[in-house]
């Protein structure tokens, strides 16, 4: 069904004016206003032909009204594209009633049942406006309800010329049946679309609460411990003067803990920014070796303590077109995981070479590797519980997920190849320098 809608261009029509900065609820309202405008355009075109064929009274005037309404509905779509959503909704709820008012006043009268549409348009503002705009909702609801009551109880049947299709009662009843079926169909369509998006909003709320709990868990466990360790050591330094070797050892541990805390905090912030769609990508031509060197400097103490050796095979002139902060975060995470899950005195190989329009960077370790279950979760972009490193290092389970999202923002990609106890190979691609 989605493929058919895409092929017909309907999904693109419904999403006119929907941008990333809009919240889910606002996006739903824009989509609904587009849906009503599109239905209104097709309905006016349809009835313009039907009135002409059936010889409806004053059908020439009605055709002019239809042209005016269609033009206005196209303008509503244009306003949504220009992100003038409030004006588009206000024009929409008034213009859709214009052809009904005209056809029920001087063409069909109470015949044909066109005034039933007033009941449909009386409920439209409830799905188009927010609660803060309740006075607009009440005004449009009462106006359309008043029109319906007037034509239902005080309206007069239309006068149709003998010899036209509409002169026959059977044809008038067909129009009435068409009006009833169309009204019910529109209501069902609006309600299904609205319920579908209510379901999306509920899922988004569940996801948001899940993310909130995840953040609190990271703050409570993964940051509390390292910060407590730093506080304890600094307290020890203020109350005694340790030997030189003890001081150097303690400072190294302090720097290692600080680096780990920094990585956890940066991953957390990047993840939150990406989930709230506030990540800004500012790509430019950068030297890959320089970004890698900064990552090595940050992880040097951890790698030295475990006896990890780097084997770097990166061309000196390797350049990429990327966002420096995002790419630095990706490289630090991948290298940090390589150190964390490598066995003491292990080896990490970093290679880079241009492949097509991308710079392909490969990271290979001979550490603990991953199970198929964990690998599948990573490939599917699902969050997972991070295991401990080979000497008890703790992670958050956010690193690779953050890497995948940040690479995606830069038109890059990430691939993971791993087997339990045989090591892991991570391949990323970034656009070549331009």
Q: What is the pLDDT of residues 264-294, one digit of tens each?
A: 676 666 666 666 555 677 888 989 988 888 8
- Provide the percentage of residues in the chain whose pLDDT is more than 70: 84
- pLDDT at 349 (0 to 100): 92
Predicted TM-score of the model (pTM): 0.56
Q: Which residues pair with 151 in a beta bridge?
A: none
Question: Model confidence at 218, in pLDDT bands (50, 70, 90)?
Answer: low
Taking residues 398-410, what's their average pLDDT?
Answer: 79
- Provide the percentage of residues in the chain whose pLDDT is more than 90: 14
- pLDDT at 4 (0 to 100): 42
- pLDDT at 361 (0 to 100): 92
Has residue 215 been placed in a domain?
A: no
Structural contact between residues 113 and 145, judged by C-beta atoms closer than 8 angstroms: no
| Other beta carbons within 10 Å of 434 | 9
Question: Are 136 and 9 part of one and the same domain?
Answer: yes
Question: Are 115 and 14 part of one and the same domain?
Answer: yes
Question: Are 200 and 291 part of one and the same domain?
Answer: no
The Cα–Cα gap between 65 and 280 comes to: 47
The Cα–Cα gap between 382 and 398 comes to: 10
Nearest-5° angle of CA 274, CA 279, CA 282?
145
Q: What is the CATH number of the domain that holds 398?
A: 3.30.565.10
Question: Are 8 and 153 part of one and the same domain?
Answer: yes
From 186, 207, 228, give the residue that closes a domain: 207
From 162, 177, 207, give the residue that closes a domain: 207
Residue range of the domain that includes 168: 2-207
Ramachandran angles phi, psi of 320, nearest 5°:
-130, 155
Residue 248 has pLDDT above 80, yes or no: no
Question: Are 203 and 324 part of one and the same domain?
Answer: no
Has residue 227 been placed in a domain?
A: no
Question: Are 198 and 319 part of one and the same domain?
Answer: no
- pLDDT at 378 (0 to 100): 73
Residue 10 has pLDDT above 80, yes or no: no
Helix (H, G, I), strand (E, B) or coil at 321: strand
Has residue 241 been placed in a domain?
A: no
Residue 392 has pLDDT above 60, yes or no: yes
Q: What is the pLDDT of residues 146-164, one digit of tens each?
A: 999 998 888 888 788 777 7
Has residue 264 been placed in a domain?
A: no
Residue 35 has pLDDT above 80, yes or no: yes
From 162, 192, 207, give the residue that closes a domain: 207
Question: Are 175 and 312 part of one and the same domain?
Answer: no
Instruction: Report how many domains make up the chain.
Output: 2
CA distances from 310 to 42, 348, 351 (A): 66, 5, 11
| Pairing verdict, β 358-365 and 347-355 | antiparallel
Residue 5 has pLDDT above 50, yes or no: no
Question: Are 164 and 63 part of one and the same domain?
Answer: yes
Taking residues 322-342, what's their average pLDDT?
Answer: 85
Has residue 115 been placed in a domain?
A: yes
Has residue 131 been placed in a domain?
A: yes
Question: Model confidence at 339, in pLDDT bands (50, 70, 90)?
Answer: confident
- pLDDT at 215 (0 to 100): 63
Question: Are 81 and 183 part of one and the same domain?
Answer: yes
| Highest mean pLDDT out of 103-107, 220-224, 395-399 | 103-107
Q: What is the pLDDT of residues 62-120, one digit of tens each?
A: 889 999 999 999 999 999 999 899 899 999 988 988 888 888 888 888 888 888 889 88
**DSSP summary character for residue 342:** S
Has residue 248 been placed in a domain?
A: no
What is the total residue count of the chain?
Answer: 434
Has residue 193 been placed in a domain?
A: yes
| Pairing verdict, β 309-313 and 413-419 | unpaired
Question: Are 32 and 173 part of one and the same domain?
Answer: yes
Question: Model confidence at 1, in pLDDT bands (50, 70, 90)?
Answer: very low
Question: Are 82 and 203 part of one and the same domain?
Answer: yes
Residue 243 has pLDDT above 80, yes or no: no
Question: Are 137 and 29 part of one and the same domain?
Answer: yes
């Amino acid at each position: 069904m989605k493929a058919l809608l895409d092929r017909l261009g309907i999904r693109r029509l419904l999403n006119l004016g929907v941008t990333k900065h809009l919240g889910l609820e606002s996006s739903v309202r824009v989509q609904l206003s587009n849906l009503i405008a599109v239905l209104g355009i097709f309905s006016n075109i349809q009835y313009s032909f039907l009135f002409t064929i059936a010889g409806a009274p004053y059908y020439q005037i009605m055709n002019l009204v239809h042209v005016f309404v269609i033009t206005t509905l196209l303008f509503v779509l244009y306003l949504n594209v220009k992100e003038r959503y409030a004006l588009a909704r206000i024009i929409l709820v008034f213009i859709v009633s214009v052809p009904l008012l005209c056809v029920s006043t001087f063409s069909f009268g109470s015949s044909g049942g066109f005034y039933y549409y007033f009941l449909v348009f009386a409920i439209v503002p409830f799905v188009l406006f927010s609660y803060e705009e309740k006075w607009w909702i009440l005004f449009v609801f009462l106006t359309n309800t008043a029109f319906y009551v007037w034509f239902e109880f005080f309206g007069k049947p239309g006068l149709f010329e003998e010899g036209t299709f509409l002169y026959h009662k059977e044809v008038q009843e067909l129009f009435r049946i068409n009006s009833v079926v169309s009204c019910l169909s529109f209501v069902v369509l609006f309600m299904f679309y609205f319920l579908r998006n209510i379901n999306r909003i509920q899922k988004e709320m569940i996801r948001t609460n899940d993310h909130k709990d995840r953040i609190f868990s990271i703050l409570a466990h993964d940051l509390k411990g390292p910060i407590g360790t730093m506080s304890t050591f600094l307290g020890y330094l203020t109350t005694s003067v340790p030997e030189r070797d003890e001081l150097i050892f303690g400072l190294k541990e302090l720097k290692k803990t600080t680096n780990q805390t920094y990585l956890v905090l940066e991953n957390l912030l990047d993840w939150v920014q990406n989930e709230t769609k506030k990540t800004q990508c500012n790509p430019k031509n950068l030297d890959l070796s320089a970004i890698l060197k900064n990552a090595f400097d940050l992880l040097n103490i951890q790698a030295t303590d475990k006896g990890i050796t780097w084997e770097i095979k990166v061309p000196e002139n390797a350049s990429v077109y990327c966002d420096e902060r995002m790419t630095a975060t990706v490289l630090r995470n991948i290298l940090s995981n390589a150190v964390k899950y490598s066995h003491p005195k292990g080896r990490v190989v970093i290679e880079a070479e241009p492949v097509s329009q991308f710079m392909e960077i490969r990271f290979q370790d001979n550490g603990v590797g991953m199970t198929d279950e964990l690998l599948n979760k990573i490939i599917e972009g699902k969050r997972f519980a991070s295991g401990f490193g080979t000497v008890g290092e703790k992670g958050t389970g956010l690193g690779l997920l953050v890497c995948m999202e940040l690479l995606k923002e830069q038109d890059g990609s990430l691939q993971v190849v791993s087997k339990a106890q045989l090591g892991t190979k991570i391949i990323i691609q970034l656009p070549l320098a331009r």
